[in-house]
Amino acid sequence: SPAGSDDDSEEVATNALLDDAQNIMEFIAKQVNSTPDTELEGEPSSTDVLDDPDTLTPYKNDIEYLEDQFLLLAAIMKKRFAELDESKDHRKSRFMDCTKEEATLRTEIRQQKGMEKMMRSKCARRLALTKKHSKWIPRLEVLAERCKLTDFERCVLIITIGGVVSSEIRKASDNDYISKFSEKKFEVGILLWVLCPSLEEQMHARSYFYKNGTLVKEGFVHVGSS
């Protein structure tokens, strides 16, 4: 299950530094405040999700980059929660919305898998184009390279940032499994379960939230008891 131990109930909050002087949330807030509301609500305006791969363009700014990342992580979250709903063991749980038909859940899982695959490809292609044709690199990518963050650690930062500024992440988080969801906070167990398909991966990834893990040691996130 997403949260099965006392450690799992610990909450992760963003406190990430993009450089020595600027807090990541302050940076994102400045970007949001300088961007028209129409670009922050609903689908990204910079490029349509269903763009032909041949027409994809390099990222122009951090907002474009984050919008794509939010859509990718939101699809993964929706897929994982739908898979949990479909599980027979969890269908009897008090957390389960028993009004959902199994066929509907399977359709939702299939749709979110398709969205995940499409967004992974789109994110990878646009980032590759950015690195090839531009001297500018998204700040989160610079941070990840500088601190040698794994893909899991980068995704944790994106999800926790999205919990504050992304309607897509907030909608994906609006379910009974994240009963304690609030701005900037996710339970460790939820993040492990969403981002790690197998128990073995979850056990390995737990170390990322230890005091000597980069995310915590460098002050990128704060882990505290709920």
pTM value is 0.75
Asked if 116 contacts 79 with a C-beta cutoff of 8 angstroms, the reply is yes
pLDDT at 9: 58
Residue 223 pairs with which residues in a beta bridge? 12
Low-confidence ranges of the chain (pLDDT < 50): 3-4, 16-22, 32, 35-49, 181
Q: 13: which strand partners?
A: 185, 222
Supply the pLDDT for residue 66. Answer: 95
Distance from C-alpha of 111 to C-alpha of 49, rounded to nearest angstrom: 14
Give the max Cα distance, the chain: 53
DSSP string, 161-226: HHHHH-HHHHHHT-SGGGTT-BTTEEEHHHHHHHH-SSHHHHHHHGGGGSTTSHHHHTTSEEEE--
Q: Where are the beta strands (DSSP E) in the chain?
A: 11-14, 185-187, 221-224
Per-residue pLDDT, 136: 93
What is the model's pLDDT at position 153?
A: 96
Cβ neighbours for 176, distance < 8 A, ≥ 6 positions apart: 95, 96, 97
Chain-centre distance for alpha carbon 201: 17
Pairing of β 221-224 and β 11-14: antiparallel
Percentage of the chain surpassing pLDDT 70?
66
C-beta of residue 216 within 8 angstroms of C-beta of residue 210: yes
pLDDT for position 220: 87
pLDDT of the residue at 78:
93
Residue pLDDT, tens place only, 164-177: 889 999 889 877 66
